[in-house]
């Protein structure tokens, strides 16, 4: 007996109530991973077993047909499901429930006979240019059965490009039931999200928009720069060393292959790649390895945004900017599903999508008829939380935003999370180090100076720390400990001397650092180091050799 979750039961009852009370066609909105299949199976079972009717399930992508039919057979074994698809060489017309591709049936309504209900799965995938096939099929199907009704099911009631799909002139007219991502996370039905903006960011202001989306060739050229790909791959590997299944979205085939090559060649990780041009056998084998956990990283281009189920995905990497809120949602949605041992899903965004469309666990899409409008979210420069654009004060750390006309953009990019109190330790390779003398703002001449150490971790991101060689007490003790791990020579008494020694090669190399981020705290801090060998002691006669060890 099929047992529905409470919200799934509410969805089914809302559909039936809408069909009783209205003459139009409803749509059910359930997040990716929230389980639309049990809802569809229940409607099919009731229509066939209880009411003696026939149901047609229509999908726009042929790859989803067999997947949908197989799922429905498992969930609802008491009903016979057939498949009608030219691409799959199946033309079942007698089954009480038929799963069909719209391209195969839109001219064949009479061949299928009377249909009582049509379920449109993944209704957001219907492009405007494809609506004609649905409209033609529905018109002919209503000749066979004037009482035909249509029910849409989707995670996002808007097209992947733009525009709501539930309108008076559409064949889906209004949402009859909707449950949100945040609600299902709180109830334990979806995986919690840890959302970070990528350190390595791009400026999309010069990229043209066509049909509600960035021009594909332009955005691929933007993202496929050598320095950007290498810095992003370095960050991906650093942030995902403890992740089991990392799904990467690239902008195009050339970009995706570049990402795959850098991950394999420079970081020694096995990364698969699939696109629309990948042969079927190769794609099936790659996806199986990824699902089975034998392949940790998988890069794809435009093929795994909808209908791809791999519950073990615990990191989604968006290496592509998108103007489409639907595509943004579908990419992130690949990590929503629960899986044994999966604590959460990390979302790494290198395309500014979180700021463009809002936090992923609270996204609410509204149709925007023209222009880019004001961004629905912004990033706090202190704690780096991504919050609603209307906040004048950050609700997580209390930072007060300056008026819009005076607001400045923070130069440092960030990867801190959205959720308050979230603690994240991330290991980074150190690409460069800079040493300088630091004096506190408004300091008096006798105020102790510090040696500032800046580690370059990405294309344009630096992490700083301050070594208090001129201070007393605990600060001096920490400075001594820091220095003695890196040099056999005495700890200097001044910041100027410390910088001179460091720049002369008197400290061991730092290959990597571990940075701790705590959402709500003002600054990230370094909590671990990967150090090279200490240099030899400074020879006698060197200008630094006469330093005495302080007591």
Give 214's strand partners: 209
Three-state secondary structure string covering 331-396: HHHCCCCCCCCCCCEEEEECCCHHHHHCCCCCCCCCCCCCCCCCCCEEECCCCCCEEECCCCECCC
Q: Residue written as tokens 């609270």?
A: 362
Residues 11 and 49 reside in one and the same domain: yes
Residues 452 and 361 reside in one and the same domain: no
Mode of pairing for the β-strands spanning 345-349 and 315-318: parallel
Residues 450 and 331 reside in one and the same domain: no
pLDDT at 413: 32
Say yes or no to pLDDT of 319 above 70.
yes
Residues 493 and 408 reside in one and the same domain: no
Span 247-271, average pLDDT: 96
Categorize the per-residue pLDDT at 101 as very low, low, confident or very high, splitting at 50, 70 and 90. confident
pLDDT at 71: 82
Span 176-203, average pLDDT: 83
Final residue in a domain of this structure, among 354, 386, 420: 420
Say yes or no to pLDDT of 541 above 80.
no
pLDDT at 548: 36
Residues 173 and 209 reside in one and the same domain: no
**Residues 450, 492: Cα–Cα separation, whole Å:** 11
Q: Between 253-267 and 226-239, two packed helices, what is the crossing angle to 10 degrees? A: 60
Domain that holds residue 260: 190-420
Span 366-382, average pLDDT: 50
pLDDT at 383: 47
Average pLDDT value for the chain: 82
Residues 16 and 138 reside in one and the same domain: yes
pLDDT tens, 381-402?
Answer: 664 555 555 556 665 556 776 7
**Residues 522, 355: Cα–Cα separation, whole Å:** 20
The answer to whether residue 316 sits within a structural domain is: yes
The burial of 29, by beta-carbon neighbours within 10 Å (0-12 exposed, 13-18 middle, 19 or more buried), is given as buried
Residues 431 and 416 reside in one and the same domain: no
| Residues 6+ away with beta carbon under 8 Å from 372 | none
The torsion angle over the Cα atoms of residues 336, 339, 342 and 348, rounded to 10 degrees, is -30
Of 313 and 324, more confident: 313
Residues 260 and 340 reside in one and the same domain: yes
Specify which of 252-261, 326-335, 382-391 reaches the highest per-range mean pLDDT: 252-261
Residues 154 and 89 reside in one and the same domain: yes
What total of structural domains would you count in the chain? Answer: 3
CATH number at residue 170: 3.40.50.300
The answer to whether residue 253 sits within a structural domain is: yes
Say yes or no to pLDDT of 52 above 70.
yes
The answer to whether residue 541 sits within a structural domain is: no
Q: Look at 253-267, 330-344, 528-542 and tell me which has the smallest mean pLDDT.
A: 528-542
pLDDT at 538: 52
| Largest Cα–Cα separation, the chain | 101
Q: Could you say which DSSP state residue 274 is in?
A: E
pLDDT at 418: 42
Span 74-94, average pLDDT: 87
The answer to whether residue 1 sits within a structural domain is: no
Residues 10 and 123 reside in one and the same domain: yes
The answer to whether residue 549 sits within a structural domain is: no
Is the Cα torsion angle 25, 29, 30, 32 positive or negative in sign? Answer: positive
The answer to whether residue 184 sits within a structural domain is: no
pLDDT at 334: 92
Specify which of 183-187, 477-481, 515-519, 538-542 reaches the highest per-range mean pLDDT: 477-481
Final residue in a domain of this structure, among 389, 420, 451: 420
The answer to whether residue 548 sits within a structural domain is: no
Residues 412 and 324 reside in one and the same domain: yes
Categorize the per-residue pLDDT at 460 as very low, low, confident or very high, splitting at 50, 70 and 90. low
Residues 166 and 206 reside in one and the same domain: no
Span 186-215, average pLDDT: 82
CA atoms within 13 A on the CB side of 343: 4
Say yes or no to pLDDT of 407 above 60.
no
pLDDT tens, 204-221?
Answer: 888 888 877 898 999 999
Final residue in a domain of this structure, among 420, 453, 469: 420
The answer to whether residue 540 sits within a structural domain is: no
Closest CA to 536 of 483, 487, 482, 481: 487
99 and 69 Cβ atoms separated by less than 8 Å: yes
Give 150's strand partners: 118
């Amino acid at each position: 007996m099929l047992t529905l979750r409470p919200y799934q039961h509410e969805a089914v009852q809302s559909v039936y109530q809408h069909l009783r009370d209205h003459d139009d066609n409803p749509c059910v909105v359930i997040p990716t991973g929230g389980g639309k299949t049990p809802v569809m199976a229940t409607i099919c079972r009731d229509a066939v077993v209880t009411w003696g009717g026939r149901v047609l399930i229509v999908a726009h992508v042929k790859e989803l047909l067999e997947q949908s039919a197989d799922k429905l057979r498992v969930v609802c074994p008491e009903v016979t499901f057939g498949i009608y698809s030219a691409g799959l060489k199946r033309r079942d017309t007698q089954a009480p429930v038929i799963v069909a591709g719209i391209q195969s049936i839109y001219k064949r309504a009479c061949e299928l006979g009377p249909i009582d209900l049509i379920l449109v799965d993944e209704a957001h995938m219907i492009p405007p240019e494809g609506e004609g096939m649905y409209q033609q099929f529905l018109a002919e199907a209503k000749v066979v059965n004037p009482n035909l009704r249509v029910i849409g099911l989707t995670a996002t009631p808007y097209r992947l490009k733009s525009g709501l799909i539930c309108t008076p002139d559409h064949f889906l007219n209004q949402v009859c039931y909707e449950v949100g991502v945040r609600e299902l996370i709180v109830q334990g039905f979806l995986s919690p999200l840890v959302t970070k903006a990528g350190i390595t960011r791009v400026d999309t202001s010069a990229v043209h928009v066509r049909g509600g989306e960035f021009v594909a060739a332009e955005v691929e050229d933007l993202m496929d720069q050598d320095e950007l790909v290498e810095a992003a791959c370095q960050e991906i590997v650093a942030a995902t060393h403890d992740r089991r299944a990392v799904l990467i979205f690239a902008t195009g085939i050339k970009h995706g292959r570049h990402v795959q090559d850098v991950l394999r060649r420079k970081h020694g990780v096995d990364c698969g790649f699939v696109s629309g041009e990948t042969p079927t056998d190769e794609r099936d084998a790659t996806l199986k390895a990824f699902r089975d956990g034998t392949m940790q990283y998988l890069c794809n281009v435009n093929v795994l945004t909808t209908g791809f189920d791999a519950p073990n995905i615990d990191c989604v990497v968006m290496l592509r900017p998108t103007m489409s809120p639907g595509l943004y949602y579908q990419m992130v949605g690949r990590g929503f599903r629960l899986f044994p041992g999966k604590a959460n899903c990390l979302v790494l965004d290198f395309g500014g999508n979180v700021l463009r469309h809002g936090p992923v666990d609270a996204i609410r899409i509204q149709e925007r008829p023209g222009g880019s409008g004001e961004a629905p979210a912004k990033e706090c420069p202190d704690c780096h939380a991504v919050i609603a654009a209307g906040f004048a004060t950050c609700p997580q750390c209390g930072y007060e935003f300056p008026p819009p006309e005076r607001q400045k953009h923070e130069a440092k990019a960030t990867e801190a999370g959205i959720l308050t109190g979230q603690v994240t330790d991330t290991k980074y390779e150190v690409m460069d180090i800079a040493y300088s003398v630091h004096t506190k703002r408004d300091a008096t001449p006798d105020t102790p100076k510090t040696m500032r150490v800046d580690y370059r971790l990405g294309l344009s991101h630096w992490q700083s720390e301050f070594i208090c060689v001129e201070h007393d007490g605990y600060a001096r003790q920490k400075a001594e400990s820091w220095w003695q791990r890196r040099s056999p020579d005495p700890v200097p008494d001044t910041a100027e001397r410390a910088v001179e020694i460091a720049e002369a090669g008197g400290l061991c190399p730092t290959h990597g650092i571990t940075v701790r981020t705590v959402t709500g705290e003002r600054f990230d801090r370094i909590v671990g180091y990967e150090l090279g060998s200490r240099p030899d002691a400074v020879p006698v006669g060197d200008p630094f050799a006469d330093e005495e060890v302080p007591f």
